[in-house]
Amino acid sequence: MNQTHHSSSPTPAPIASPIASRSAGSDAHSPARLGWSMPAEFAPHDACWMLWPQRPDTWRLGAKPAQQAFVAVASAIAESETVYVGVNDDQYENARYQLPESIRVVELSSNDAWMRDVGPTFLTHPEHGLAVVDWEFNAWGGLKGGLYFPWDKDRRIRPKIAEMLGIPRFDAGIVLEGGAIHVDGEGTLITTEECLLNPNRNPGLDRAAMEARLSEQLGISKVIWLPRGCYLDETDGHVDNLCCFVGPAEVALTWCDDAADPEYQICRDALAVLEASTDACGRPFTVHRLPQPGPLFIGEDEASGIDRLSSSHPRQPGDRMAASYVNFYIGNRVVVMPLLDERRDNEARDILARLFPERRVIGVPAREILLGGGNVHCITQQQPRDPRRT
């Protein structure tokens, strides 16, 4: 893409209503043209949003082990910033009891607990503060490979959060999950062809059209297309499980040295693209390799604790899980990483500590989250700091 970076856009028009939904189908009224853009995750935050797990066909044993893992993640992030946890009404008292008092529990109904994908993508504007992009959501593929049905409650989460915060909401008009993208806040976005060009998301959009939509919604000017996501990632290859920005022109990439493992070629193909690319500012990428845990597989006892429903993705004993240390959360003062494999945990933690010397790296036992199909980054969504208060 060779488009103008959002910083040179015309003076933004005033916002008529703080909670109005605006169609972004017209470039003249797109968030980027109005001066909005998506900050990097490593930029300052005001808060982090999560959802409470309870779905018995995703989380084993009535989600009790997963709830303990979510509490650990929320508690670690709460050392760094305000944490909101959205809860269905029937689980409100249970969640309030388990979560520390400092964490804000709000009634926010959902079909499942993947806030990264069902929650809003936040934008910032130097004069108007915060807004959200309201993508379409179809449970990672709709009726052609999606992971559960229905997803009606999930689709209402983004407008509800915009309403709660009293901030503008832009209707994107395309299917996209937050885990499918990473940005550097300086015009560059990383994603995978496997996900964003998958016909079960937006069959009418080719690569050029998708780049144009991403530019309009997020204020980016360059897209780096990695071929595939992690092996057997049930989200159709979300980039947040494979590669993420850790700073300007710096990324962390999951890495496998076993030539017999399908992940071996996936990460090398991604590295080849990154080494041949520059970011939106013309800088080459520095790539930091994070070792792949495992491979890890679902155990017999773990699979037996999950409800089997025809409307949800089956989880069988022996199924390989898409485990990755790249699936971490960058907070203001902490980095919360998944602990997945005691043979590799310390190595991954040491690498992250070097990459984030001003943040404390907190490892959280995360196998229960992985059993549900994702990890720490998948269950969190950062709310950037209002630029009017920095």
Supply the residues annotated as catalytic: 378
- Phi then psi dihedrals of residue 352, to 5 deg: -65, -35
Residue type for 71, please?
A: V
Residue type for 238, please?
A: H
What is the token pair recorded at 9? 């856009």
What is the token pair recorded at 36? 């909005």
Residues near 228 by beta carbon (within 8 Å), at least 6 away in sequence = 192, 193, 194, 237, 266, 269, 270
Q: Is 257 exposed, middle or buried (0-12, 13-18, 19+ CB in 10 A)?
A: exposed
* DSSP3 helix / strand / coil % (the chain, rounded to 5): 30, 25, 45
How open is the CA angle 6-9-14, to the nearest 5 degrees? 110
Please give the Cα distance from 287 to 218 (Å, whole number).
24
- Give the residue among 286, 263, 267, 291 at the shortest CA–CA distance from 349: 291
Specify the residue for token string 């240390």. 325
